[in-house]
Amino acid sequence: MDEILDKIITDELLAWDKTLIDKKQQFVVNLNAEIIDELVNRRNELENIDVDELPVLKNKILYFKKNILLDGVGLLIIDGISLKNFSSKEKISIYKLVSKILGELIIQNIKQEKIVEIRDVGKSMKTGGRYHETREGGSHHTDSPQWKNVPDYLGLFCVHSAKNGGTNLFLSAYTIHNKILKDRKDLSKIFYENFHFDKRGEFKEGESPTVFEPIFKFKDGRLYFRYLRNYIDAGHDIQNQPLSESQKEALTYLDNTMLEDYMMMRYDFKPGDMVFSDNHRVVHGRTPFEDHDDPNLKRLMLRTWIKDPSYRN
């Protein structure tokens, strides 16, 4: 077994809680006038321009990456008010550019999509639907835990917000880990054991239908977290390897811990907002939502998954 983190982390940039909402200067940013001028001057080229041709934007996003995503709280929100004078199409192009500055956009599914729509299509997780296709809440998780090499950053762009609900929830993996050490240290080593994660049918012939990885990993002084409970339950069913009673107890404790109110920093996205989070240490979810009747106003997010060559895995 790899190294285990066995001490409480007090660094507030790593172990934060709901009170982070009162410290927006640590994660909410605006694009300044110089960046906006640069984008305006090239607005007819935004869909196809190379990021190197936007040096002011590139340098500022790289600054945010180092100081907020990597060395800060791990959550970066670009306030959509900065882009109020751009069209929806232009904003989406700018979102793609910011994503590309952070790293390489990776294919997310068998459709070969690098940008995926997050919207309710009438499905339910209870009947096999994917979380991003429902209006359901809960299920705090990291993205793509069923991959051997998970995305380093999760990106979301808010096109439309819901009529009611759909508040985004963010949790720190370090805060979760601290809670386990304080209250149930007897369970802590279980989370460093390997679990089967269901690949959701996305595997080649001859490959295992599951990935066998731990929930927590501590490597080179960094804590890594991967989790989506449904994928673990399904993975162990596929492999015909039932979870032990101690594993069930640990997972139930983890699920309940992540529902504790003090854990969850709540943030309501506005149209035009962009969010990028460290997918190794920032857990996310949302509250259930009620959507608009008008199909043109229904809640819609665009998702990118990003690999960063400079991120130490």
Tokens representing residue 24 in the block: 């927006």
For residue 109, the one-letter residue type is N
Q: Which residue has the tokens 């594993």?
A: 247
Q: What is the pLDDT of residue 129?
A: 60
The pLDDT value recorded for residue 313 is: 44
What pLDDT shows up at residue 233? 97
DSSP labels, 31-44: --HHHHHHHHHTGG
Helix (H, G, I), strand (E, B) or coil at 74: coil
Q: Tens of pLDDT along 229-241?
A: 999 999 999 999 9
CA distance 161 to 298: 7
Q: Kindly list the distances between the CA atom of residue 284 and the CA atoms of 4, 81, 182, 294, in Å, as whole numbers in the listed order.
A: 23, 23, 22, 27
pLDDT of residue 66: 96
Please tell me the distance from the alpha carbon of residue 298 to that of residue 300, in angstroms, as a whole number: 6
**pLDDT digits 0-9 by tens, 280-291:** 999 999 988 777
Chain segment 7-31, per-residue pLDDT in tens: 999 999 999 999 999 999 999 999 9
**Domains present along the chain, CATH in parentheses:** 18-307 (3.60.130.10)
pLDDT value at residue 191 = 98
Residues of the chain with pLDDT under 70: 1, 120-138, 312-313
Please give the full DSSP string across 208-248, using - where no structure is assigned.
-SEEEEESEEEETTEEEE---HHHHHHHHHHTT-PPPHHHH
CB–CB of 57/35 below 8 Å? yes
